[in-house]
């Protein structure tokens, strides 16, 4: 049993010497290559991570700028809308004032025409009444009858004109 252990140990050392002599460098080279590949991958991953962080920072900056521009444009549009609304209100107010002024002028002109027409008709009727009175001046009873007739004509004439015109 001890001889078997010594043989196993000697076999192991012999194996190590053979491996060291023929395969050790190859194994170390493979391990070195693998370590270099892993380090390269880690460096690439770190570079990509930094690039991603840089791009994310750029994106955040761009989004902030875009947001500020959008807010500025919205504010500008709101101000433009208010300005346009004020212009529309002012135009409407001016047009309403013009319409009101024209309506007042039309009413005043119509009223002036009506007064002139009424005055002329009153003058004509008065002249007619005086003419009839002078022509038919016979007695007091006839005068009263004539005046009542004239007043009735005036009343019916005024009614027909107010309903017709």
pLDDT at position 113 is 87
Q: Report the chain's mean pLDDT, rounded to a whole number.
A: 85
What's the pLDDT tens digit per position in 6-57?
999 999 999 888 888 888 788 888 889 999 999 999 999 999 999 999 999 9
Instruction: Please spell the DSSP secondary structure of the chain, one letter per residue.
Output: -HHHHHHHHHHHHHHHHHIIIIIHHHHHHHHHHHHHHHHHHHHHHHHHHHHHHHHHHHHHHHHHHHHHHHHHHHHHHHHHHHHHHHHHHHHHHHHHHHHHHHHHHHHHHHHHHHHHHHHHHHHHHHHHHHHHHHHT---HHHHHHHHHHHHHHHHHHHHHHHHH-
The verdict on pTM exceeding 0.95 is no
């Amino acid at each position: 049993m001890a001889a078997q252990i010594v043989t196993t140990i000697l076999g192991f050392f012999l194996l190590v010497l053979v491996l060291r002599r023929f395969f050790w460098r190859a194994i170390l080279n493979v391990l070195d290559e693998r370590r270099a590949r892993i380090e390269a991958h880690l460096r690439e991953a770190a570079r990509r991570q930094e690039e991603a962080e840089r791009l994310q920072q750029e994106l955040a900056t761009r989004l902030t700028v875009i947001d500020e521009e959008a807010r500025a444009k919205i504010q500008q549009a709101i101000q433009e809308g208010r300005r346009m609304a004020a212009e529309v209100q002012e135009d409407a107010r001016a047009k309403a004032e013009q319409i009101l002024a024209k309506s007042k002028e039309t009413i005043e002109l119509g009223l002036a025409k009506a007064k002139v027409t009424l005055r002329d008709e009153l003058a004509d009727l008065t002249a007619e009444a005086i003419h009839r009175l002078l022509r038919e001046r016979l007695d007091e009873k006839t005068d009263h009858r004539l005046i009542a007739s004239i007043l009735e004509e005036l009343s019916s004439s005024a009614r027909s004109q107010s309903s017709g015109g």
